[in-house]
Amino acid sequence: MDIQLLHGTAISALIPQLAELRIAVFREYPYLYAGTLEYESHYLQTYAEAPDSLCVLVRDAGRVVGAATALPLADETAEFQRPFLAQDWPVERIYYFGESLLLPAYRGQGLGRRFFAEREAQARRLGRFAWCAFCAVQRPDDHPRRPPDYRPLHGLWLSEGFVEHPELITHYHWQDLDETAESPKPMTFWLKELP
């Protein structure tokens, strides 16, 4: 496998492949996302336009099989900034971790931890961030599409030093696989203070 770190405009050329990867991975529980290439391309453009963004790209025999993204929270959309601004958090001091995506065959090999390490290293290199943050969708334990063998990633997140902040919640809209229209989904933020 080949791991490459891309920043800003260097991400642009990979937007089609990243969009396909996001759609494939986020179809799974807990996101159940019925995405489109058009929407994904628009969403990923935010990362290409942010000079301090990062994309950790994983290829196997040239094929994109995994990726993780990050950028300053100040460069993210209003939905992601809103809960922080409402509670007087300084968004310019937070480095936001976007998605962590791996095709199923590549999970359990330490790449998830590598994604966290590379993004945190980027936040430290930039030198102006006090926290790293990400958010995760909240689904009820009895959700009808929850697989019997589903294992939440909370253990990984805690072991990486992140703490859940239930007071920091946003709602992001997308269409689930079994929905006919978009609906709001609660997303809770997790934060790690950078010493």
Ramachandran sector of residue 161 (left: φ over 0; alpha: ψ -120 to 50; beta: rest) = left
Give, for 83, the enclosing helix (H) or strand (E).
helix 78-86
Placement of tokens 């489109």 in the chain: 36
For residue 195, pLDDT beyond 90: no
Q: What CA–CA distance (Å, rounded) separates 38 from 66?
A: 20
- pLDDT number for residue 134: 98
Domain ranges of the chain: 2-193
For 64-110, what is each residue's pLDDT tens digit?
999 999 999 999 999 999 999 999 999 999 999 999 999 999 999 99
Placement of tokens 């095709």 in the chain: 103
For 50-72, what is each residue's pLDDT tens digit?
999 999 999 999 999 999 999 99
For 150-190, what is each residue's pLDDT tens digit?
999 999 999 999 999 999 999 999 999 999 999 999 999 99
Q: Are 64 and 11 in contact (CB under 8 A)?
A: no
- Fold assignment, 2-193: Aminopeptidase (3.40.630)
Q: Are 188 and 169 in contact (CB under 8 A)?
A: yes
For 114-154, what is each residue's pLDDT tens digit?
999 999 999 999 999 999 999 999 999 999 999 999 999 99
Q: Are 129 and 97 in contact (CB under 8 A)?
A: no
